[in-house]
Amino acid sequence: MSPKKKKQSKRGRRDVGKEYFPTLARLWRWFLRNRTWPVVLTIILVFSLTSAGVLIFERDMNEGFRDFGDVIWWTIVTASTVGYGDRVPETAAGRAIGIMVIILGVGVASIVTGKIASWLVEWKIKEGTGLATQKRLRRHLVICGWKDEMPNLLIDILKVNPGLASDDIVLVSTVKPAMVENLRSLPELENIGFVRGDYVDEAVLHRANIKRAAKVLILADSNVDYSAQEADSRTVMTVITIKSISRDIYTCVELIDSKFERYLRSVHCDEIFPARHHNQLLLANASAASGVTHIIRDLLDMEQNHLVTKEFPAQFVGDTFASLSRHFIESEKGVLIGVLENTGNIYKRKKEALRMAQRTPDLSQLVANLQEVKKLQGNQPVFNPGSDYKIKPYSRAILIRS
């Protein structure tokens, strides 16, 4: 093995150690803090002594107890009151110890059952009140904030994300637990997660396991009576906090006022929806009797799902727009109206583009390349770019499906 590979191998082992040893340390600290650890040690000690006692009294005259393994098996079977009967003490002392093991086993079973029941009840209470930490989730969607039409919004989110289930969603809000229970009464949302608290607080976000999340949707919160400026300021603060935890998280934001958009772009927010600005545009078009509002409504209708963005085979990267258009006409009978460039996490796109830009030895070309990287914007739509347009990496097709 080469020195480089040996070094990588050692680094990999260290990474595994870093991952597992803290977990073992946490378990050990929990065990020491827990008030039941003296009971557990006492039970282990008593079982060990009774096993040793049976081995001493039965080994010379009972073929069922030849070694410590036989005794341990008998102790576990007897303490659990299963009683297979494959090994039975024959001496009076051995039977007396057997009675002690049976009595102790019943007590241990009661303690363990009670502890499990207590833990389950405590976990259920925490889960219902939003105090539980969502440790088990990976690549999930975190939704910060609350809307009056939350049930319909969540059902629509599930419709446009076919691979997403309700137990892959965590709500972070200060709403009362009863409102979340109303959501869970719907069959589609019965397993939805909930963390109660202010999502501006980093500790609350960590309880939602934000570091392991794939996407975060931050709503203009209607649960608290904030002004538009206060709501948008809280949104910007939340995005800054999330990006400081992990730049790889895809962040989607609802803004009330578009004047805060530049702050979000400076911290590489991936998708921004300025609600008030878009509503103004739709109202202006409605006043012109242009029918644009009807077009937008039908294109975005959840049942029809006409307007979509879709991935395409990698072979079309570098190919022409005309070629990709023919592909979708033949495969899906869909009309390609454009391409969405720089999809995915914009921080990653810029980082990769910067690495590519620095490869040129020409200083003037390097400056030009760096300027292009600076102008790079995530999820940039290019409509009807022309038949000779070259498809770029990290793009998605914008389709109108029949």
Residue 1 lies in a domain: no
Same domain, 155 and 276: yes
Instruction: Tell me: do 244 and 306 sit in the same domain.
Output: no
CB atoms within 10 A of CB 393: 13
Does any domain span residue 8?
no
Gap between the Cα atoms of 334 and 389, Å rounded: 19
Residues 111 and 181 in one domain: no
Q: What CATH number is given to the structural domain containing 166?
A: 3.40.50.720
Does one domain contain both 205 and 229?
Answer: yes
Together in a domain, 101 and 61: yes
Structural domain of 124: 14-129
Whether 289 maps to a domain, the answer reads no
User: How many domains does the chain contain in total?
Assistant: 3
**pLDDT by 10s per residue, the chain, length 402:** 454 444 444 444 444 444 445 666 766 666 666 666 666 777 777 778 888 888 888 877 887 787 878 888 888 888 777 777 777 888 888 888 888 888 888 877 777 777 777 766 766 666 666 778 888 889 999 999 999 899 999 999 998 888 899 999 999 999 998 899 899 899 999 889 999 999 999 999 999 999 999 999 999 888 888 888 898 999 999 999 999 998 889 999 999 988 888 889 888 888 999 888 778 888 888 888 888 888 888 888 766 768 888 899 999 999 999 999 999 998 888 899 999 988 887 777 777 777 777 777 777 777 776 777 777 777 889 999 999 999 988 899 999 887
Does residue 305 fall inside a structural domain? yes
Q: What CATH number should be reported for the domain holding residue 301?
A: 3.30.70
Residues 122, 182, single domain; the answer is no
